[in-house]
Amino acid sequence: MAKLTRLGQQIWTNYHKTAACNVKERLEIANGEESGGRAYLKSVAETVLELLKEAKQYNIPVRPIGAGWSPAPINIVEDGWLVETLRLNRTFKLDADAVHPDCEIPPEALLLVQCGATVDEVYESAEQLGRSLRTGGASNGQSFAGACATGTHGSVWKSGGIQDHVRAVQLVTPERIFWIAPDKAVLSDEFITQTGSEIIRDDRIFAACQVHVGAMGFITALLIETDPIYMVQNIQKATKIEREHIDWLCRGEFTKFSREFGLNEEPYFQQIILNPFDPFGKNALLRFLYKRPFNPDIKPPTPSQMGAGYDALTLLGNLMAESEFFKAEILQVAMERGYPKDQDVDDPERIATWGNTTEEHTPIANLFNGSVTIERSLLSEAFDLIIDSFRKGGGGTVVTLRFVHKAQGLLAPARWEDNVVIDFDGPNVESSHSGYKKVVEALDDAGVPFTRHWGKTNNLDERRVKRDYEQDYANWRWAQAQVMPDPAERQVFANDELVKLGLI
C-alpha cells in the first residue's frame, strides 16, 4: 500500500507565504513498494479512498496539496486535513495494451503523471522520451495537477492552458475511484480495472475535471498527451512600442509585430510587459519564442541564459514596495534591472527545449497576483480603459499582456476563441490591490466581458462565477453531482473559498 504519514496539527503556509491556516492534521502520502505503474496507481487511489471515507465519517474537510503555489487561499482549510502529494511524483510510459483500440493517439505520445509531479518533473520525463509539452506558465515549481486545476496559461497564442494536455484523470471521491475520460475512449478497460478504478466516459464530466478548482474530488493521476520534442529560440528586448502596435496585437497580426521587434517570422510565444504610468513613453519589455527543430548537439543553456523567470514577479521583487514616490521611474528601473540584455541575434545559447524556458521561483512573500482575461478582439477598445483605471487606483506594478487560444475545460478562464490575458503581478502594496479593483469595476461599467484566474487574487463570488461562466458553470455543477451525488461527499472538499465561489 501507499505510505501515509500523519504529521500532526500545525500551522501551514502556502509557497509564497500569502495565506496560512491551522490544520487539524497534516498528512503526507507517498508511493509504496509496488511493482509497475498500474499497481502504484491502484495502491495510492485505494489509500486515498480510505482516507476520504474516514474524513466523511467524521465531517473533516480535506485539501490535497502539491506545491501550494497558488497565492489565492484556494488551498486553505481551517481545522481540516491537508494531504501533501509531492512524493507522488512518478511518471510512466504507457504500454500499448493500456490504450483503447478506438484511441487515435499513439501510445508514445501519452504519459501517465502522478498528482504530485511538478511541472519541471513532467518536462524532464517527457524530454527523456523525446517528447515535449506545448504550453505552460512562467514557472515550473507547481504540481502539474495543481496547474491544471486552476487553468494555468502561458503565452503560446495557438494553445490554451496547461490542462489542454490532459486526456483522462484518475479521480477519488469518498465512495469510489474513477478514471474519467471523454466519450471517445482513450484507456483500455483492462488498464482501468487493473488500477482499481471504474470508468466514466463523458465529454461534459471530463471537461469539468480538466479545470476542477479542487472541488471535483481528489485527483491522484493524469494521462497527458505530449508533442514530439522541439526547441525554441529566445528573443527579448526593452524598447518603446506605439499605440498602433496594440492594434496589431488586437487583430492577431503577430508576425507583423514580430517583424517589427523580433524576427521576420511567426512567433510561437510572445509577451509584452508595460509600465502603466507611461506605456508608450517608456520601454516595454518584449519576449518572443520561435519554434526550432530539436538538435541534440546544442548544449542546454542555463535557465537564466534563456531568460527564464520572465514574469513580472521575478523582475520586480520588493523594490516597488520600498517606496511610494516617483513610481513611474522606480517601476521602470525595477523592470529593466531584472531583464536580461537584448537577445536578438542567432545565438545558440538562446536556443533550448521548451522545458528550459522556465525555472522555479524563490518564494515571494510580499506578493500581489491579479489578472483579467478578455476576448482579444476587444483589446484596442479596452486598453486605455484598463491602463487608466489601474493607474488611477494606484498602479502598484506592471501590466503584462499574454495571448492564448481558447482553453479546454468548462471553467477555463480563456473562454473565447482568441484571448488576451492581462496580468497585474508584483509587490503586495495597497496600490496593487486598489488598481486591480478599479480595472474590474471599469470593465463591468463598460460592459466588457472578462474572467479571472482561479489561483490569483480575484474578488470573485458565486454570483459572479455564475455570470461569467453561465451554462458552463451549470454543466460543471451537474458533472460534480454525477461523481459525488451525495452532498456529504462534496462537503469533504469544502473550504471557505470554494463555498464563496459557489463550487461546493
User: In CATH, what number is assigned to the domain containing residue 128?
Assistant: 3.30.465.10
pLDDT exceeds 80 at position 302: no
Mean pLDDT of the chain: 90
Is residue 456 in a domain? no
- SS3 state of residue 426: strand
Percent of the chain predicted with pLDDT > 70: 90
> Which of the four pLDDT bands, split at 50, 70 and 90, describes residue 365?
low
Q: Which residue, 424, 446, 468, sits at the end of a domain?
A: 446
The CA–CA distances, whole Å, from 333 to 277, 284, 285, 463 equal 13, 12, 12, 41
Tell me, yes or no, whether 251 and 199 share the same domain.
no
Q: How many residues comprise the chain?
A: 504
pLDDT exceeds 90 at position 494: yes
Give tens-digit pLDDT for 122-180: 999 999 999 999 999 888 889 999 999 999 998 999 999 999 999 999 999 999 999 99
Tell me, yes or no, whether 110 and 49 share the same domain.
yes
Q: Which of 164-173, 277-286, 355-364 is modeled with the greatest confidence? A: 164-173
Tell me, yes or no, whether 303 and 190 share the same domain.
no
What is residue 343's predicted lDDT score, i.e. its pLDDT? Answer: 59
Is residue 278 in a domain? yes
What is residue 154's predicted lDDT score, i.e. its pLDDT? Answer: 86
Q: How many domains are there within the chain?
A: 2
By residue range, what is the domain housing residue 391? 231-446
Give tens-digit pLDDT for 236-245: 888 999 999 9
**Pairing state of beta strands 81-84 and 62-65?**
parallel
Is residue 396 in a domain? yes
Top-confidence residue, 100 or 316: 100
Tell me, yes or no, whether 392 and 482 share the same domain.
no
What is residue 350's predicted lDDT score, i.e. its pLDDT? Answer: 83
Q: Which residue, 446, 469, 485, sits at the end of a domain?
A: 446
Cα-Cα-Cα-Cα dihedral sign, residues 432, 433, 436, 438: negative
Tell me, yes or no, whether 162 and 267 share the same domain.
no
Is residue 466 in a domain? no
What is residue 325's predicted lDDT score, i.e. its pLDDT? Answer: 45
Give tens-digit pLDDT for 427-436: 777 888 899 9
Tell me, yes or no, whether 253 and 156 share the same domain.
no
CATH number of the domain to which 330 belongs: 3.40.462.10
Is residue 29 in a domain? yes
In angstroms, the CA 114 to CA 92 distance is 9
Q: What is the pTM of this model?
A: 0.93
Is residue 181 in a domain? yes
Tell me, yes or no, whether 390 and 251 share the same domain.
yes
Is residue 457 in a domain? no
What is residue 299's predicted lDDT score, i.e. its pLDDT? Answer: 83
Tell me, yes or no, whether 215 and 237 share the same domain.
no
Q: Which residue, 446, 468, 487, sits at the end of a domain?
A: 446
Tell me, yes or no, whether 262 and 298 share the same domain.
yes
Tell me, yes or no, whether 279 and 346 share the same domain.
yes
pLDDT exceeds 80 at position 367: no
In angstroms, the CA 326 to CA 153 distance is 33
CA dihedral (238, 243, 248, 249) in degrees, to 10, reads 60
What is residue 317's predicted lDDT score, i.e. its pLDDT? Answer: 52
pLDDT exceeds 60 at position 472: yes
What are the phi and psi torsion angles at 43 (to 5°)?
Answer: -65, -45
Tell me, yes or no, whether 24 and 87 share the same domain.
yes
Top-confidence residue, 57 or 397: 57
Is residue 458 in a domain? no
In angstroms, the CA 229 to CA 241 distance is 33
Tell me, yes or no, whether 425 and 484 share the same domain.
no
Long-range contacts of 304-308 (CB under 8 A, 24+ apart): 304/340, 304/359, 305/349, 305/350, 306/234, 306/350, 306/352, 306/356, 306/357, 307/234, 307/236, 307/339, 307/340, 307/343, 307/350, 307/357, 308/356, 308/357, 308/358, 308/359
What is residue 4's predicted lDDT score, i.e. its pLDDT? Answer: 94
